Amino acid sequence: MKKNILKLITSCTIAFSLFSFTVQAQNKERVTFGIDLTDAQEVQMLKEFGVSENEVSVDRITNNDIIKQLGLDPNDKSNYEGGCYSSSYVKITNNGGIQVQSNNLTEVTSLMLSNALVTSGITNAEVKAGSPFPVTGTSALSGILKGFESAKGEELSLKNKKAAQEEIETTSALGEEIGYDEAAKVINDVKTKIIKEAPKNSEEISKIVEGITNNYTVEISDEQKEQIKALMTDINDLDIDYSTVKETLKNIGNQISEVLKNSGKDIQDSSFFQGIFAAIGNFFSKLFDSIKNIGNN
């Protein structure tokens, strides 16, 4: 009798362990749908994401969810305008950084989302974001963040999420003027240096922004620079540990550079590099002259 009870307990323990492992594995993936999608459109998005509804848990995102996620003003009627159509698939990974694919988002690119997710506090995740038809995508971030939190079982910092949304809006506005991929590069370059150097005041932030933006071939207005400075002030206040995001930011930067290169664009000022090479050349020229003079003496 005791042996049978022991076997039963052992079997239950093993079954519970397997169940726990399965739940944990399943919870690492999540799908979010905009609440205004039809059933047919949800099926379409699942197909695009490469999953079925019985494989992953699903959250449906409302305007109230977006307001809560991003800390928006619930009394601002503009936050309730338009439908909720952006959808996402989120898979938490142990390494590999942030990988984002997007479709039918007209004003928010996958590179912009990757950048913003770093700001939100996410370091490793596979993300697919899109809609069954073209939408701006400006609210796509909230669905991704909700999916990540549901999959992980804990909430991200609201302060980080608000800064991430501010980053999306600032990058998108800049992108309307200079191009979305170009804007993603500007923000990534500036943000990387801000996080790395952790400036102590607004003057140091301004110096970093001016120093980087002045080296681009695209024209960035004073007003746009002020918007970037405001964003970077908020990001600097997050005290992000550079060592935890260094490789992710570098990988995103490389992806952006590759996209720009493949499209025949290069916003880095070539004269800047020419100046560096000229300075190096002058240094060695003077060095050789000095050695020659010593030999003649």
pLDDT, mean of each 10-residue run, the chain (297 residues): 43 36 56 97 97 93 92 82 92 94 96 97 97 93 96 96 97 95 96 98 97 91 97 98 96 94 72 46 58 59
Q: How confident is the model at residue 161, as a pLDDT? A: 97
Residue at 48 is within a domain: yes
Residue at 202 is within a domain: yes
Please report, for the chain, how many H helices and E strands are present, in that order: 11, 5
Q: How confident is the model at residue 2, as a pLDDT? A: 43
Residue at 8 is within a domain: no
Residue at 203 is within a domain: yes
Residue at 221 is within a domain: yes
Residue at 279 is within a domain: no
Q: How confident is the model at residue 80, as a pLDDT? A: 72
Torsion on CA atoms 85, 29, 125, 131, rounded to nearest 10: -20
Q: How far apart are CA 288 and CA 282, in angstroms?
A: 10
Coil/strand/helix, residue 99: strand
Q: How confident is the model at residue 289, as a pLDDT? A: 60
Q: How confident is the model at residue 17, as a pLDDT? A: 36
Residues 220, 182: contact at Cβ < 8 Å? no
Domain span holding position 233: 27-262
Residues 113, 140: contact at Cβ < 8 Å? yes
Residue at 83 is within a domain: yes
Residue at 58 is within a domain: yes
Q: How confident is the model at residue 83, as a pLDDT? A: 87
Residues 58, 31: contact at Cβ < 8 Å? yes
Q: What's the burial of 155, exposed, middle or buried (CB within 10 Å: 0-12/13-18/19+)?
A: middle
Q: Based on the structure, what is the number of domains in the chain?
A: 1
User: CA 158: distance to chain centroid?
Assistant: 16
The structure's pTM equals 0.80
User: CA 207: distance to chain centroid?
Assistant: 24
